[in-house]
Structure 1
Amino acid sequence: MMMSSNNMECSAKAKEEEEITKISLMRSLVETQDPSSKEVDDMTMRRFLRARELDVEKASSMFLKYLKWRRSFVPNGFISPSELTHEIQQNKMFLQGSDKKGRPISVLLAARHFQHNGGLDEFKRTPSSLFSLSGCDNLDINLLFVNLQVL
């Protein structure tokens, strides 16, 4: 059975309203546990909700873990290029235009990676640092971090 376009629009609006309501619930829950989360926009909250199938409890837990991780990897709120001179000199990551929706395309050439004295900790920190410097720090790059966790 095929849905009419009118029914699909109503369904999309209902889903949108449900997401907005759950974003508000998530925000109030998270802000009580971590006041710094007030700076985070609704789109970021929505990504965490969608990643946990709109389960506010699970999304909030995941989001709080993300904030904790972010503070440990980027304690000053940003990463200075002077901290990454070795990585930048290798020219292993660059932006290559944008896709049809206007999102930046980032290319990472793994063959140009040569280990430095920083060891595994620096290797794990480098991708998030380079994404941050290229302006892609708020994008969903879960696959990259899943691969790093295998190490």
Structure 2
Amino acid sequence: MKIKYSITCLLCLILSSSVWGQDKKKQMSYERLKSLKINSILEQVDLTTEEEAFVWRAYDQYETEMRKRYYKKMKKIRHNTYKKIDDLSDAEASETLDSISYFKSQKEILYQKFSETLKTKLTAKKVLKIHIAEEKFHRKMVHQSRNKKNIP
């Protein structure tokens, strides 16, 4: 009886760990996505190794600030508001809209600072190429996501 129980437990453990492991493979980690994004941008823009290191550091600082100032706060708003939107009063809805507008404006200000930081060591043309490469990467990711979900 103990052997059957042990084998059953072992089998369940193996199956559950393999199923759990598959989910991790499907979900791309934040760090991996960030690395793919930077590498994609750096491949499309002709930079020296010193410039690449500068862009990487500047982008890392920009992303860290974005996560602190924008993403975490917007996630909190979405979590608190979107689920109970029908229960909100007009005043609460207005306050939420004001918060969203404020955080989006902060996001734009951060991006402007990031661009200005890049302009200190790079030409405006290279900064523009970085911006275009970033947009291409976003479109590529959206396209891949749509293809995986079969969305036209």
The TM-score, its normalising length taken from structure 2, stands at 0.27
Rg larger for: 2
Larger strand proportion of the pair: 1
